[in-house]
Structure 1
């Protein structure tokens, strides 16, 4: 039996809520039919945005949501998505096999209303490839300028008097491929030009400068990602350093060994995917070290004027399972989510939580109808995938602190993470075994009281939710653990995700 011992119930590293971020893009049916149904739709909606999706999203307290891409960002012109909807141009989207017209009904104002309804901060990705610094600057001015200008008056005419205060701005997307097939040197030059064009929105304590996020490497290419990051920061170190808040790494857990459906798999295929997601932890450590080395090598600025801070946050702007069958799906990249996806989603979030000192923000790709989704829509139906339950169970860690523990008789198939928030202790227990239940012991120096347990599992790991069976796989109340003095005995079902909640007693405070 694996034994976990908590010597001290004292928090360590702060868990940024932004590690549980989301990503949406005009790709397949993510936006249209997914989020946007239109005000005239028979499907219940809030000003055109699907009501049941908003209501369910609100419950997750999503911290940030990235839009409009992804690859689509680099062909998106923001002016196409403002003003009266009946006057907006119709464009065409070839992005990742979407091959559909874009009526531009979901634009800046609709995105901001969506963010306001679900309580998320927006992350806007600008068009670097087919756009210009002038277009980016005008979008920033339109969104964030307080003073009365032609652009802010236009924003008011379009329905929003106060500035949107968009904080995060991605400067290009995957520039190593669909974003321009650039070299790090080419991109660094473009990045300097675009970020130098950003407005500052005030000065001193009143300033609201954009937090510019650079396009990082392809996380799935071990050799290229190392060289890319080294070369990018070497280029940044030449002469004057531009503003650089974050560095956006993308990593997908590819399942491409054979063309197989994401809904049918054997035990070997289960473990291929489960083990594949674990690589991300090494990638994060590697990239954090490379970023820190690059920052350390920057020349010290000359003169009395304030220079850009020698700091850069690592961000994972896209992550999730990508099964081979998604390439042939219609709508594009539509993918069902089974317990296999739920377990890897839990493991990945635990990687972020465990390494909160190394990674600052992360966005699952994508939230609706694409790849590792939390929501799948089918006409009037909005189905919550098992991934939704994982995010729901794990939201307790937002704003908490990591909690250290010791392991004995470690079982490699049981993955553990713990956090503490005030007097509440949350322990994640993920059993990655395809078919075996597991027993573990949680031991405390001073035993807290058990509050509740939540467990997500299914008798068949291949199970998923659909319109006919929307609750086939759903989080349930877990069994109370058996207590023996200062320890708890817990049984974990095979292929399961559990969160156990304890609370400090008065003697421990």
Structure 2
């Protein structure tokens, strides 16, 4: 991945802020203490999962262009997008939805493409869906990426037989009619399904159900979902949202069939209002603050649901899967509102990093998440326009945080934390997470939430002597800095290094920045 160094203007701004910071006594700056002697739960790589729904240009054009396209492709998949996603080590992809999943007829997406039926995508824009991208294409995608598959089944408009036959089609090894159909369609060996969702948002677009009714349906459908021994996926129940823990409580008490975890959805709306969510660019600091305040509610929601799970599942067998999360803004003017295309700025990068640090803190239960969505939809990694592609600020956060995949979390204490205030509300000035990577390195992530003020922090590690920090920083001059098709990128990682003495290692955090470093002796 290409690195850049901070330009002169950025460097001068950081130094000026650092001079202001140095006026404070050492006791006044935040003190970060990492206890390397007390390893915590593993930060599951699937926390960095992606989501690809049949929505707008998320799949068609964004990922799939077909073999005959003039856009360079690998068997119909955009070469540039595939290579970019490989670079961030995507561990998991969820498909086909989302709301789309509960109207999806899996048989529409198999067999010769020119014979597949056309349907209307009633959820997203009322456009025609030609089913060119179906089951075989999805598994080819995840194989190209080296990722695992999370398939969401149709409980809303489907039936148990339909769902059971789809799972058999994907995983079966016998000579049954369904498995032979898969072989006829070009796939001899079964695929591996890491996760299988039984419905989606049953409280909303998946059927507007009550928790108890959905629990009964889950038990009904799950009874017939069978795979060859050793190939059973982790089954996911459709859970709740925001502060409503009734779904988590009811499902963890009443689902009697196989269940690995309960899903949860939360989108960050700057205003907190669905009718007028806020804009993706051109916002004032008040909206920057409101966005970060809203996204940090994720910690509250996870804590509330963990409390319920700890009561009903003290052995921690169940995971809490945040399989839809991210920013959601007002539709861009001139675009189809149902396509959910939005610009992605430095603010989105900060939102992503804050959520990752929250997920790390709750790694005992949060074992899988999926940002919404991968390409051209909501808080995307990648935006495309015909044969062009740009990498978003959120993409670069996933790049920086790769080192935390399957790392061992470490306790972190922040004393004398800085505060970021606006009106009557207060946010922490910094967000921190630490872990021991699979490579043995000690990694530290830091986010400076304040868009106006740099911050100095002091780092001490119990159980080791660390004198340096080396990694990358993501920042820019404007709060809505972004990467577009018509000019040079405004947000890309830059090299970062700091040196000091054990117990006296100090790091300078530029305003509105995300930093990931390895600590060294």
Deviation at 1:326, TM superposition (A): 5.8
**SS of residue paired to 2:235:** strand
Give the drift of 1:426: 0.8
State the Cα distance separating 1:389 from its structure 2 match: 0.3
Match for residue 354 of structure 1 among 344, 361, 367: 361
| Aligned equivalent of 1:3, options 27, 31, 38 | 31
Q: Are 2:131 and 1:104 aligned?
A: yes
Tell me: CA distance 1:115–1:327, structure 2 relative to 1, closer, same or farther (3 Å): farther
Match status 1:447 vs 2:470:
no
Residue in structure 2 matched with residue 303 of structure 1 by the alignment:
none
| Aligned: 1:382 with 2:389 | yes
Quick check: 1:327–1:333 contact (8 Å CA) kept in 2? no
Shift of 1:470: 5.4
Aligned to 2:182: 155
- Deviation by residue 1:56-109 (Cα, 9 ceiling, x = unmatched): 10111111110000000011111111111111111110214x221011011011
1:82-481 correspondence to structure 2 within 5 Å: 82-96=110-124, 98-202=125-229, 207-217=230-240, 219-220=241-242, 222=243, 225-236=244-255, 241-256=256-271, 257=273, 258=276, 260-295=278-313, 311-325=317-331, 329-330=335-336, 332-411=339-418, 412-421=428-437, 422-445=439-462, 446-448=464-466, 450=468, 452-469=470-487, 471-478=489-496, 480-481=497-498
SS state of the match for residue 500, structure 2?
strand
2: CA distance between counterparts of 1:13 and 1:86? 49
**Contact 2:471-2:516 at 8 Å conserved across structures:** yes
- Is contact 1:170–1:215 with CA below 8 Å preserved after alignment? yes
Q: In structure 2, the residue corresponding to 1:161 is in which secondary structure?
A: coil
In the superposition, relative to structure 1, how do residues 310 and 354 fare at CA in structure 2: closer, same or farther (>3 Å)? closer
Q: Provide closer, same or farther for how the CA distance between residues 338 and 196 of structure 1 changes in structure 2, counting only shifts above 3 A.
A: same
Q: Secondary structure at the match of 1:92?
A: strand
Cα distance change of structure 1 residues 423 and 129 upon mapping to structure 2, 3 Å threshold: closer
Partners in 2 of 1:444 and 1:213 — Cα distance?
A: 38
2:95 is equivalent to residue 67 of structure 1: yes
**1:299 aligned residue:** none
Q: For the structure 1 residues 107 and 30, does the alpha-carbon distance in structure 2 shift closer, same or farther, using more than 3 Å as the test?
A: same
- 2:46 touches 2:92 (CA, 8 Å); kept in 1? yes
Which residue of 2 is the match for residue 300 of structure 1? none
Unaligned runs of 5+ in 2: 1-28, 419-427
Matched with 1:19 is: 47
Q: How far apart are the structure 2 equivalents of 1:374 and 1:293?
A: 37
Alpha-carbon shift at residue 165 of structure 1 (Å): 1.7
Deviation at 1:451, TM superposition (A): 5.9
TM-superposition CA deviations, 1:118-168 (whole Å, max 9, x none): 111010001111111111111111110112222222212222211002131
Whole-angstrom CA distance in 2 between matches of 1:486 and 1:360: 33
How far off is 1:17 after superposition?
0.5
Query: SS of the counterpart of 1:95?
Result: coil
Structure 1 residue 485: deviation in Å? 5.1
CA contact (8 A) 1:9 1:420 kept: no
- Partner Cα separation in structure 2 for residue 151 and residue 489 of structure 1: 62
Q: Which moved more, 1:425-434 or 1:401-410?
A: 401-410
User: Could you tell me how far apart the structure 2 residues matched to 1:380 and 1:484 are?
Assistant: 50
- Unaligned 5+ runs, structure 1: 297-308
Cα 1:134–1:470 shift into 2, 3 Å: farther
Query: How has the CA–CA distance of structure 1 residues 310 and 9 changed in structure 2, closer, same or farther, with 3 Å as cutoff?
Result: closer
**Contact 1:326–1:371, Cα closer than 8 Å, also in 2:** no
Pair 481,423 (structure 1): closer, same or farther in 2 beyond 3 Å: same
Q: Which moved more, 1:411-420 or 1:285-294?
A: 285-294
Distance in 2 separating the partners of 1:194 and 1:259: 36
Q: 1:448 to 1:69 in 2, by over 3 A?
A: same
Q: 1:364-412, CA deviations, whole angstroms, 9 ceiling, x for partnerless residues?
A: 0111111111111111111110000000000100111112233232112
Give the distance between the partners of 1:60 and 1:481, measured in 2 at CA: 25
Q: Structure 2 CA distance, aligned partners of 1:211 and 1:7? A: 33
Q: 2:56 aligns with which of 22, 28, 36?
A: 28
Could you tell me whether the CA contact under 8 Å between 1:229 and 1:290 is conserved in 2? yes
Asked if the contact 1:260–1:325 (Cα under 8 Å) also holds between the matched residues in 2, the reply is no
| Large movers: runs of 4+ above 3 Å | 6-10, 231-236, 256-260, 325-329
TM-score by length of 1: 0.90
Q: Structure 1 pair 319/470, CA: closer, same or farther in 2 (3 Å)?
A: farther
Secondary structure in 2 aligned to 1:105?
coil
Judged with a 3 Å threshold, the aligned counterparts in structure 2 of structure 1 residues 293 and 265 are, in CA distance, closer, same or farther, namely same
Distance 1:104 1:350, change over 3 A: same
